[in-house]
Amino acid sequence: MRASRFGKPSQELIVFAIAVACFIFFAVALTGFASLGNVITMLRSIAILGILSTGMAVVVIGRGLDLSQVSVMAISAAWVLTLMNGGMGLYPAMALGLMFALAMGILNGWVIAFIEIPPLFATLASGLVCFGVGRWLLIDGVHAYPPKGAENFLFFGQGQVFGIPMPIIIFVIAALAVHWMLSRTVVGRHIFGLGDNMMAARLMGVAVRPLIIFSYAFSAFIAFIAGITLSASVASMNTEVINSTLVFDVLLVVVLGGISLSGGRGSIVSVVVGACLIGILLNGMTILNINSDAQNIAKSVVLLAAIVIDRRLHPKDEETDKQGDH
């Protein structure tokens, strides 16, 4: 985090300051908010949201959008649990679940890159297809549970390393890996170029269509990781999570942290900062017994305000807003 040009603080820094202020306010106003148990609970919830947001960040920086992420997360993880209950080993089951998630991500990217369907509609439709196919062919019922004796699986969500819960460790690893990819690799530079000016990226020799497919496949991979972490944490996967506001919470984290929906701007630091702020706010509102409807209204207002501010700061260039590779 750093000050932007002309001495003005960056959006990341502003959001970080707000997060710190909110934490201090809730710690003073609410008994037990700053307790070790509640902080760990809050970090666990931030971790799942943050893992998903790292994948969404890659897509959004490349001027895309992935509304199928939560559906891919739920169905791929639930299928892993179903396969394990059928007698399959942990790692073969996880391999098949990952293949399913990657297939959905590749499908998203192919439809967007080659058929040129806008990401909003393509991923919304693919998310529904994923959910329908999964519930019809792959899993039984709404919930999936790990079999008895699945300690190796549960370790991904309930285990600890040096006293640190595994979901937090997985989030940190995901954030560091995505940060390295975006800032230190050719693929990362091309993703920023794709989001900033697709026509210019194409003229510079960037393989735009394969890069779009890679972005959505990577988002699906991250969704699978989040699904395994979440289902191991609570020892189940409720596929109805697709009907929750989770995907909008992910978008809220991404946009609020400073990643522009116009593409080409942002960093994983933005994701970490945005996840911390949303996690603190949701935890505080829950302790205050604010009902879920009121929380959703508050999140919606914040998301809308963040999008409006983003559009004001980073207006979309219609000349470069094309998905094709003509």
Cα(75)–Cα(101) distance, integer angstroms: 8
Please name which of 102, 113, 95, 73 lies closest in space to residue 229, comparing C-alpha atoms: 73
Cα(292)–Cα(117) distance, integer angstroms: 34
pLDDT interval class at 176 (50, 70, 90):
very high
Identify whether 102 is part of a domain. Answer: yes
pLDDT digits (tens, 9 = 90+) for 118-149: 999 999 999 999 999 998 889 988 889 999 98
Cα(206)–Cα(2) distance, integer angstroms: 30
Provide mean pLDDT across the span 180-187. Answer: 92
Is-contact 90 77, C-beta < 8 A? no
Cα(224)–Cα(77) distance, integer angstroms: 7
Cα(324)–Cα(183) distance, integer angstroms: 25
Letter string b/e over residues 56-90, b meaning 16 or more CB atoms within 10 A of that residue's CB:
bbbbbbbbbbbbbbbbbbbbbbbbbbbbbbeebeb
pLDDT of residue 16: 83
Which helix (H) or strand (E) segment holds residue 193: the answer is: helix 186-196
Q: What single string gives the DSSP state of each residue in 14-37?
A: HHHHHHHHHHHHHHHHSTTTTSHH
Terminal CA-CA length for the chain? 38
pLDDT of residue 320: 43
Distances (CA, A) of 149 to 89, 90, 155, 236: 12, 11, 11, 14
Domain at 228, CATH number: 1.10.3470
Identify whether 155 is part of a domain. Answer: yes
Letter string b/e over residues 144-176, b meaning 16 or more CB atoms within 10 A of that residue's CB:
bbbeeebeebbebbeeeeeeebbbbbbbeebbe
- Which of 14-18, 50-54, 69-73, 310-314 has the weakest average pLDDT? 310-314
Please name which of 255, 223, 259 lies closest in space to residue 242, comparing C-alpha atoms: 223
- Which of 77-86, 122-131, 168-177, 246-255 has the weakest average pLDDT? 246-255
Find where tokens 């999008």 sit.
Answer: 307
Identify whether 184 is part of a domain. Answer: yes
Identify whether 4 is part of a domain. Answer: no
pLDDT digits (tens, 9 = 90+) for 259-296: 877 777 888 888 888 888 888 888 888 888 888 888 88
Q: Which range marks the domain in which residue 301 is found? A: 10-320
Q: In this model, does residue 316 exceed pLDDT 70?
A: no
Letter string b/e over residues 29-39, b meaning 16 or more CB atoms within 10 A of that residue's CB:
eeeebeeeebe
Q: In this model, does residue 326 exceed pLDDT 60?
A: no
pLDDT digits (tens, 9 = 90+) for 189-245: 999 988 888 888 888 888 889 999 999 999 999 999 999 999 999 999 999 998 888
Provide mean pLDDT across the span 167-179. Answer: 94
Biggest distance spanned by C-alpha atoms of the chain: 62
pLDDT of residue 310: 67
Cα(295)–Cα(149) distance, integer angstroms: 37
Average per-residue pLDDT for the chain: 87
Identify whether 122 is part of a domain. Answer: yes
Please name which of 218, 266, 236 lies closest in space to residue 1, comparing C-alpha atoms: 266
Question: HEC profile for 68-114?
Answer: CHHHHHHHHHHHHHHHHHCCCCHHHHHHHHHHHHHHHHHHHHHHHHH
pLDDT of residue 166: 94
Is-contact 105 221, C-beta < 8 A? yes
Identify whether 234 is part of a domain. Answer: yes
Is-contact 56 219, C-beta < 8 A? yes
pLDDT of residue 144: 92
Residue-level length of the chain = 326
Please name which of 135, 40, 152 lies closest in space to residue 93, comparing C-alpha atoms: 152
pLDDT of residue 132: 92
- For CA atoms 243, 167, 180, 273, the dihedral sign is positive
Identify whether 87 is part of a domain. Answer: yes
Distances (CA, A) of 313 to 82, 208, 261, 262, 272: 46, 26, 11, 10, 21
Q: How many domains does the chain have?
A: 1
Of 325 and 178, the structure prediction assigns the larger pLDDT to 178
